[in-house]
Structure 1
Amino acid sequence: MSAAEQTPEGEDVPWGEVTPEAARRLLVAAVEAFAERGYHATTTRDIAGRAGMSPAALYIHYKTKEELLHRISRIGHDKALEILRAAESGGGAASERLADAVRSFVRWHAEHHTTARVVQYELDALGPEHRAEIVELRRETDASVRRIIEQGVAAGEFDQADVAGTTVAVLSLCIDVARWFNPEGRRTPDEVGELYADLVLRMVGRR
């Protein structure tokens, strides 16, 4: 997840922001297991086994399987919101900022498609308190994109009467990349991002 953490050889460490190392390994294993089998079909024994640890070791770092899912979901949603807010606060016209938001958001969902599937599609497996927390982050994500579109409409850049509906459509289009993206496919994450940015500008009726 974090490109800031690297091995001595310069390779990125997945979820490098999670410490200690045992907790990171368990989280990586949980992402793989949840994406492959689904949250409910995955056991703590499955996760510990993938991490090369005993089931008892998991509970040293995470009290429950749901806590693991919450940690994954929270980090993923925080990253998604960070991407969109960076684009929203950038300089330039609304069309430029919207295109940048879509490129970056789509690229993240493609590059981290396994993680993104868990982050975006296992919401209902969270407990009530954690679910409410993530739903609020999703509202903030929606608001960030909606503000850019509203500003574009107000400035006469976009010809779109239904801003709320268009915002939902834009986010749904971007998020769904995690379902189908294949690293061995004919398009790279950057190419998909460029394609979707162009599609979204058409959706908002760029003038």
Structure 2
Amino acid sequence: MGAQRSALPDLVDDSPALWDEGFGKAARGLLTGGVRCFAAQGFHATTTRDITAAAGLSPAALYVHFSSKEEVLFEITRTGHKSSLDVLTLVPPDTDPATHLRGLVAAFVSWHARHHVAARVSQYELGALTSEHYEVIVGLRRRSTSVFHDALTHGITAGAFPDADAHRVVRAILSLGVDLVRWYRLDGADSPEELGEYYADLALGMVAAAASRRAR
């Protein structure tokens, strides 16, 4: 059965804003269609016909722009991870490590809320990628992790944060941003920015709590 836009009212997010202008209109439509179908049905249950139907294109259109269904998934996943990394690089460094870490968390969480459907696909369909494509995504994930790890360890070294297990704390902070894609909706109680600010407060509390536990 072809995926229809009207059948997926709960899968509305800002995914179309993610695609690079280097992709033509049809290719961007296929990426958006892929997001909707993979999120609703999973990669393996989705056919190329589902994706083209969701994009309003003929069944053969996908192969004009992508070599396979897997390449559509890769471009969605690569774009999602690169975009979420880019927002971290836009957070200005601050002389106050707590302000800097707070800004990183707020940006990361807000991005995942704003693009929660594309992020859901990017995070939970990785097993369908080829090994070569998977390694590209792993590299982007490591870079994002490093941004948070560097910010936290800098704060600990500077004495702004109490000593804590940076690896565990960063893993918990990243989980805050990633897990929300399972349940978040843009028409819910919190805007992406409000949720980002709330989770930023939680993250700073986690740093203090982790240090307290380590001191026991």
Fold shared by both chains (TM-score > 0.5): yes
| Equivalent-residue separation in structure 2 for 1:202 and 1:142 (angstroms) | 19
Task: Please name the residue that 2:155 is paired with.
Answer: 152
- Compute the displacement of 1:112 (Å): 0.9
Aligned pair count?
Answer: 196
Q: Say whether the 8 Å CA contact 1:70–1:126 is kept in structure 2.
A: yes
Q: Which amino acid is the alignment partner of residue 134 of structure 1? A: I
Q: Deviations over 1:163-191 (max 9, x none)?
A: 01111110011111111112222111111
| Equivalent-residue separation in structure 2 for 1:201 and 1:44 (angstroms) | 44
How do residues 64-75 of structure 1 correspond to structure 2 at under 5 angstroms? 64-75=68-79
Task: Please name the residue that 2:164 is paired with.
Answer: 161
Does 1:110 find its partner at 2:113?
Answer: yes
Does 1:82 find its partner at 2:95?
Answer: no
Task: Please name the residue that 2:207 is paired with.
Answer: 204
More helix by share: 2
Q: Say whether the 8 Å CA contact 1:14–1:28 is kept in structure 2.
A: no
Q: Say whether the 8 Å CA contact 1:15–1:28 is kept in structure 2.
A: no
Percentage identity across aligned positions? 44
Q: Say whether the 8 Å CA contact 2:16–2:28 is kept in structure 1.
A: no
Task: Please name the residue that 1:22 is paired with.
Answer: 26
Match of 1:186 among 174, 185, 189: 189
Task: Please name the residue that 2:131 is paired with.
Answer: 128
- With normalisation by structure 1, the TM-score equals 0.89
Q: Which amino acid is the alignment partner of residue 185 of structure 2? A: N
| Equivalent-residue separation in structure 2 for 1:123 and 1:13 (angstroms) | 20
- Compute the displacement of 1:72 (Å): 0.7
- Compute the displacement of 1:13 (Å): 5.4
| Equivalent-residue separation in structure 2 for 1:41 and 1:68 (angstroms) | 14
Q: Which amino acid is the alignment partner of residue 59 of structure 2? A: P
| Equivalent-residue separation in structure 1 for 2:183 and 2:163 (angstroms) | 28
How do residues 23-62 of structure 1 correspond to structure 2 at under 5 angstroms? 23-62=27-66
- With normalisation by structure 2, the TM-score equals 0.85
Q: Say whether the 8 Å CA contact 2:19–2:79 is kept in structure 1.
A: no
Q: Deviations over 1:106-126 (max 9, x none)?
A: 111111111110111111110
Q: Which amino acid is the alignment partner of residue 44 of structure 2? A: H
Structure 1 residue ranges, 4+ long, deviating more than 6 angstroms after superposition: none
- Compute the displacement of 1:129 (Å): 0.2
